[in-house]
C-alpha cells in the first residue's frame, strides 16, 4: 500500500517536471522527493517517470495515473477542509423553522447566499405555520413574529418591524366596494384564520369590528390567505410588504395599529454561541433587513405607478357605506 505523501510527491514531480522543482513546491529536500517516487514505483510495480538530464518525464502509465491521483488529491483536500471547519465549529447542520411565506420570500435566498460563504454548514428548513417547540429541540432556530414575543428560556434577535393593512382584490372591490370604515366590515366577506392563525392580531382586530359576523372562509396558512384575497374571496389583514407588491390587491384600511408586529430569530441559550449558529444569525439579520428595504422601495414605486394609472382613467372602486 502506498503513502498519501508519495502521491503528493508524484503529482509535484509531474507538475514541476523534476524532483528539484517538486522539492521547492513541497518544501522538502530533493532526496526526500526522489525517495518517495521510488517508494511509490516499488509499491505499484510500475515505472512512472523517465529520468534524464532535463528532468523527469511521465511514462504512459504515469500519465494515465496522474488523473486518478488528482482525484485522490481533491478528496484529501476536501477531507482536510471539512476537518478544519469542524475544528472551528463551522460545519454540521442547523435546523431552522419559519412560516411558508417567510421561507419563500426571504429565507431560501438567504440560505443560498449563506452556503456560498459557509459551504460546510448544512441548513435544514422546516416550514410550518405552527410554532415548533425550540426548547424541546424540534428545531435549532425559529423566525417568529408577534406584537409581544414570549421568549421564556430562548434568546432572540430582532429582524424588523412589519405593518398590516386590510386588503381585497380589485375584482372583489368592483363587486362589493371598499369598506368605508372599520364598522363597515360587517357588510363584507371576511377571511379568518384557523389552527392558530386565528390568534393573529390583525385577524382578531378585524373580527372585533364586525361582531357576530362569521368569516366567509378560514385558512391555517398566511400564504394561502394572500391567495384567497387575490382570488376575491374577501377582505383580510395582510403584511404590507407582501400585499403591496401585488397590483391586483387594494388597501382597505390604514395600517392597523393593533396588528403591528416584529419579527425575531430565536434559539436556545446553549446554542447561541455555537459558531455555525452564530454565523447564521449574524448573516441573516442584515440580509433580511436589506431585503425588506429593497422590497419596500419596490412596493412604493409600484403603488405610485398603479395610483397614476388609476387616476389617469380607471375609476377607483367606491367604498361601501357603513351599516
Q: What is the mean pLDDT of residues 236-252?
A: 91
Query: In the structure, what pLDDT confidence band is assigned to residue 202 with cuts at 50, 70 and 90?
Result: confident
**Has domain 4-87 been given CATH number 1.10.10.10?**
yes
Q: What is the mean pLDDT of residues 201-226?
A: 88
Measured distance CA(168)–CA(231) in Å, rounded = 9
The pLDDT value given to residue 129? 76
Q: What sign does the CA torsion over 102, 143, 235, 167 have?
A: negative
**95 grid coordinates:** 435546523
Q: 298, 261, 266: which is closest to 284 by C-alpha? A: 266
Segment among 106-120, 143-157, 285-299 with least mean pLDDT: 143-157
Share of the chain above pLDDT 90, in %: 25
Report whether pLDDT(321) > 50. no
Q: What is the mean pLDDT of residues 160-172?
A: 91
- H-assigned helices in the chain: 4-16, 19-26, 30-44, 60-88, 100-102, 108-117, 170-176, 201-209, 222-230, 240-243, 275-311
The pLDDT value given to residue 194? 81
The pLDDT value given to residue 286? 93
* DSSP designation for 235: B
The pLDDT value given to residue 172? 93
The pLDDT value given to residue 320? 46
Report whether pLDDT(322) > 80. no
Segment among 44-48, 106-110, 219-223 with least mean pLDDT: 219-223
Mean pLDDT of the chain: 85
Share of the chain above pLDDT 70, in %: 89
Every domain of the chain with CATH number 3.40.190.290 lies at 164-261
Q: How many residues does the chain have?
A: 323
Every domain of the chain with CATH number 1.10.10.10 lies at 4-87
**164-261 in CATH: which number?**
3.40.190.290
The pLDDT value given to residue 315? 44
Contact 129, 190 (CB under 8 A): no
Measured distance CA(24)–CA(17) in Å, rounded = 12
Every domain of the chain with CATH number 3.40.190.10 lies at 92-159+265-296
The pLDDT value given to residue 323? 30
pLDDT digits (tens, 9 = 90+) for 273-314: 888 899 999 999 999 999 889 988 888 888 888 778 776 544
The pLDDT value given to residue 135? 82
Contact 208, 192 (CB under 8 A): no
The pLDDT value given to residue 152? 63
Query: In the structure, what pLDDT confidence band is assigned to residue 190 with cuts at 50, 70 and 90?
Result: very high
Superfamily name with CATH number, domain 92-159+265-296: Periplasmic binding protein-like II (3.40.190.10)
Segment among 57-61, 82-86, 171-175 with least mean pLDDT: 82-86
The pLDDT value given to residue 318? 47
Amino acid at each position: 500500500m502506498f503513502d498519501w505523501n508519495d502521491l503528493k510527491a508524484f503529482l509535484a514531480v509531474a507538475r514541476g517536471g523534476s524532483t528539484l522543482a517538486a522539492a521547492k513546491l513541497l518544501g522538502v529536500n530533493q532526496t526526500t522527493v526522489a525517495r518517495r517516487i521510488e517508494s511509490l514505483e516499488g509499491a505499484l510495480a510500475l515505472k512512472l517517470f523517465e529520468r534524464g538530464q532535463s528532468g523527469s518525464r511521465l511514462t504512459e502509465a504515469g500519465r494515465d495515473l496522474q488523473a486518478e491521483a488528482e482525484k485522490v488529491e481533491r478528496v484529501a483536500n476536501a477531507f482536510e477542509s471539512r476537518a478544519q471547519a469542524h475544528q472551528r465549529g463551522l460545519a454540521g447542520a442547523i435546523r431552522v423553522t419559519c412560516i411558508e411565506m417567510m421561507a419563500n420570500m426571504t429565507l431560501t435566498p438567504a440560505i443560498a447566499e449563506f452556503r456560498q460563504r459557509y459551504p460546510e454548514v448544512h441548513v435544514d428548513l422546516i416550514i410550518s405555520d405552527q410554532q415548533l417547540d425550540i426548547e424541546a429541540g424540534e428545531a435549532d432556530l425559529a423566525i417568529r413574529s408577534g406584537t409581544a414575543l414570549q421568549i421564556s428560556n430562548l434568546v432572540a434577535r430582532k429582524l424588523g418591524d412589519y405593518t398590516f393593512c386590510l386588503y381585497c382584490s380589485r375584482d372583489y372591490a368592483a363587486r362589493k366596494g371598499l369598506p368605508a370604515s372599520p364598522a363597515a366590515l360587517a357588510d363584507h366577506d371576511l377571511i379568518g384564520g384557523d389552527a392558530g392563525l386565528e390568534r393573529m392580531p390583525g385577524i382578531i382586530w378585524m373580527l372585533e369590528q364586525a361582531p357576530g359576523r362569521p368569516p366567509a372562509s378560514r385558512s391555517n396558512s398566511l400564504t394561502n390567505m394572500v391567495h384567497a384575497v387575490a382570488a376575491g374571496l374577501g377582505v383580510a389583514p395582510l403584511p404590507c410588504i407582501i400585499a403591496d407588491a401585488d397590483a391586483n390587491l387594494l388597501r382597505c384600511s390604514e395600517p392597523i395599529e393593533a396588528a403591528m408586529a416584529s419579527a425575531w430569530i430565536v434559539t436556545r441559550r446553549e446554542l447561541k454561541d455555537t459558531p455555525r449558529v452564530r454565523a447564521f444569525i449574524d448573516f441573516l439579520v442584515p440580509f433580511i433587513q436589506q431585503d425588506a428595504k429593497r422590497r419596500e422601495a419596490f412596493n412604493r414605486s409600484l403603488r405610485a405607478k398603479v395610483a397614476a394609472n388609476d387616476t389617469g382613467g380607471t375609476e377607483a372602486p367606491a367604498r361601501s357605506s357603513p351599516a
